[in-house]
Chain A
Amino acid sequence: MKPTGRRTNLLLNLASLLLLAGTLFLFHRYGSDYQVRILNNMAIFIILAVSYNLVNGVCGMLHLGPNAFITIGAYTSALLTMSPAEKELSFILEPLVWPLSAIQAPFSVSLLAAGLLAMGFAFLISFPVFRVRGDYLAIVTLGFGEVVRVLCNAMQSVTNGPLGLKGLVPHTHLGWSWGVAVVTVIFVTRLTNSSYGRAMKAIREDEIAARAMGVDPFKHLLLAFMVSAFFSGVAGGLLAHLITTISPNLFTFLLTFNLLIMIVVGGLGSTTGAVLGAALFTWAGEAMRVVERPMNFGSWSIPGIPGMRMVIFSLLLMGVILFRRHGIMGRREFSWDWLRGRRGPS
């Protein structure tokens, strides 16, 4: 069999995008609110998982602070879309600082700003973060997530402190969330297949060897980190306008942990895996609500146990790590060739 040609590839990609758009349109038109909500969540998780995977899977750096970037993105975009009148109403304890209190921007601009600001923060913290590796890197990024949360609670004149921001306009609809998700997937795929991506993988496999071959680890890690932060920030903005209420304690380490489950189950280092992992996680998370609800078996009933889902998810994560370290996809990627039964060069 011949490998799929460039033209066919493009056509097939376009066709599947159209199919996706069509399906989403049908849901938008006829689906229930609940279904639309889940699809939105799924898209946002796909953005987050794919961008998270860029640092964790492709570069092999265990980074535990995506929740920080999500928080930054959510607050930035929320503060930009709220109208000045609304802001005056919400900030009861301390008024909002001047420039922020007056401006209002359209949703698209606010998302862009969210991404850029998250990226800026990523740039700033990359200097201490990439001085260290492995466990230290994990802890420093985890600490960054905590610091951002503490600051959000404390800086009342910017974030409204523990009260959070309420009453955001639900701008996020399927077009936005899936649109950004598709852009993220395309961008990250192009990046990982470029020479930059190959350099990142080289760093993952053996940093010293990569350096000996003339790869500058800091430059490439910084690139991956900033791209990842950008998309996390945008996703944060989307998330804020989906749930319409944000508070500092919304984006905790639990969110990072969930993302970690997604990319590990999907296969660390595979963008396809991240997409699959995110989709499965969203679906399973909803499907498993059953276990937290009281169940009736004839005469006796089991009371609902809140938190049971997380136990199952933790067990799942441990199981995958212990017995099937490569997850669903390993490091393979989806391609039309692969679908036709031939393995591309891996």
Chain B
Amino acid sequence: MINGISLGSLYALVAIGYTMVYGILRLINFAHGDLLMFAAYSALYGTTLFALPWYWSFPLALLGTGLLGILVERSAYRPLRGAPRISLLISAIGVSFLLENLALVVIGGVPKPFPRPEVFDRVVEFMGIRIPVLTLYTPIITLVLLSGLLAVVFRTRVGKAMRAASTDFETTQLMGINLDRIISVTFLLGSVLAAAGGIMWSMKYPQVNPFMGVLPGLKAFIAAVLGGIGNIFGAVLGGFVLGVGEIFIVALVPQLSQYRDALSFLALILMLLFRPTGILGEPVEEKV
């Protein structure tokens, strides 16, 4: 159960990025999973190559990923505003492949071990069960980041503008809001959350490779759809549902474990068939 919540909170962190971008641009940011990969690598190199302590290298990785997110938006999505949607999607897929293959060329395809800082490496005993602290920390960190995000979205002017833009793109522009800036902020926030998810992911499964972002990216997207895309709470809920569901299925019916990824997609297809707006998505609901 705790494992499920921990996995679910990782999905949730990444799913929020999808949902925020989708809410404003109506675009699936295919490169989102690769931002996660980038974060893992930069945290890895921060600690190994530059010998930074983790409390320096991890925030730096978050920042770097945020900037990369903005860069991706500027170079690949902004020039296509107003272009047919299919071009935008193709561009997104292109960015994703570019990032993966650049990583492959620059770093190489050999998976690298991820150094887990000692703080996260301990195991606590709780009511007779041994639980790695990481599993406990993950949901807590997620909650902290999430409340930070919610504060930005619901308490600041930028957040208000973001909510406005997701409700009505054009009217917001007419109201004199600089949308490009809002979109950049959205990408920054989404990418930082993805980076946090990525770092925790690579502590959970301590191995880093250029294609590591693909699967969490897809899963997080499914989570975002399950919860109702465009809705932050939906993304969180979807993440937890997917994470707990996966762990439960594997625990209850171990034979199904190799079908785990296929089952997630099945859940996605069923959801789209019967309730395309997701668990929390209402056509008129406030979206970010």
Contact = CB atoms under 8 A, between A and B. Distances in A.
Nearest to A132: B272
User: In the complex, which of the residues A135, A136, A139 has the most CB atoms of chain B within 10 Å of its own CB atom?
Assistant: A135
Contacts of A325: 83, 87
A154 B261 CA distance: 12
Interface stretch (B55-63, B88-96, B126-134, B280-288): B88-96
A191 interface: no
Interface residues of A, number: 41
Given A135-B28, A144-B265, A264 B218 contact: no
A17 interface: no
Interface in B219-268: 221-222, 225, 258-259, 261-262, 265-266, 268
Given A56-B86, A264-B90, A318 B258 contact: no
Nearest to A64: B93
Given A62-B90, A257-B97, A318-B95, A139 B268 contact: yes
Interface string B83-115: 111110111011101100110110001000000
Nearest to B83: A325
Contacts of A2: none
Given A132-B276, A136-B276, A308-B105, A317 B90 contact: yes
A150 B261 CA distance: 8
Interface string B152-175: 000000000000000000000000
B242 to A, nearest CB: 13
A339 interface: no
A147 B276 contact: no
Name the prevailing secondary structure of the B interface residues: helix
B266 A60 contact: no
A72 to B, nearest CB: 15
Q: Which of A151, A154, A305, A307 has the most CB of B within 10 A?
A: A307
A307 B28 contact: no
B146 interface: no
A138 interface: yes
Given A147-B266, A310-B104, A322-B80, A136 B95 contact: no
- Pick the most buried of A62, A64, A127, A311: most chain B CB atoms within 10 A of its CB: A311
B273 interface: yes
Given A60-B84, A311-B101, A314-B94, 7 more contacts: A56-B86, A140-B268, A147-B262, A150-B259, A311-B105, A314-B97, A314-B101
11 contacts: A136-B225, A140-B268, A140-B269, A153-B258, A264-B90, A306-B109, A317-B94, A318-B98, A321-B91, A322-B80, A322-B91
